[in-house]
Amino acid sequence: MSALELIGVGVGPEETPVLPPLSAALGAERPAFAAAEGERGPMLASLIAAGRLVPDRGEVLLDGAADAPALRRAVALVDTPVVAEPAPSLPVGTVVREELRFAGRRGRRSDALALLTGLGLERWLRSPVSDLPPADRLRLLLELAALRNGVRLLVLTSPERHGGRATAWRRLADEFTARGLPVLVIGGAAVLDPLPGTRPAALTPGSDR
């Protein structure tokens, strides 16, 4: 199992940062939730967490080591705005076929249909991605990211932006973590809102380790 730590990562001038300092820790036992400030904060923090962007301050550790190439191999971005989200008008089947090929698998229409059928989503094959209910969209994109070779950790970005119930995407984060693919959810302040009777595993922006 892998561990991921963001330690005071930030972007931009210290006086007027685009991403104020953010710390978060993800282990093997349960998902983690982190709130990134600013309009682009969740996207930037996700890119940093996945080794796609070098922060101006702070560091990212994978299993206790700062190793950007290993980070890029191990961490998959899921539904990250601009960089890892499907175009709204793309048919669901097309998105699945492209992701299957990206994962080094066969990407025929029948392969996409088989995957969707396994998830109970076959009726959405020809529908645009934007028509998928929020929970179904997130489950599908998490499942597709999990197929990639070498992926050990998932970073899900701003699931709250699609609406729907927070319990749904939190349940998904729990489920994938239990399957051995720990999930770090990075979004706005809403991702830290506790559900009744729960205490999400999270560090607020700028928290100490």
pLDDT in tens, the chain (209 residues): 579 999 999 999 999 999 999 999 999 989 999 999 888 999 999 999 999 999 999 999 999 999 999 999 999 999 999 999 999 999 999 999 999 999 999 999 999 999 999 999 999 999 999 999 999 999 999 999 999 999 999 999 999 999 988 999 999 999 999 999 999 999 998 888 765 444 444 444 444 43
In contact, 60 and 52? CB cutoff 8 Å: no
Could you tell me which of 53, 42, 49, 70 has the C-alpha nearest to residue 151?
70
Q: Which residues contact 27 (CB under 8 A, 6 or more apart)?
A: 1, 3, 182
Superfamily of domain 4-86+152-192: P-loop containing nucleotide triphosphate hydrolases (3.40.50.300)
CA distance 97 to 29: 32
Measured CA to CA, the distance from residue 181 to residue 34 in angstroms comes to 17
Cβ-contact 173, 183 below 8 angstroms: yes
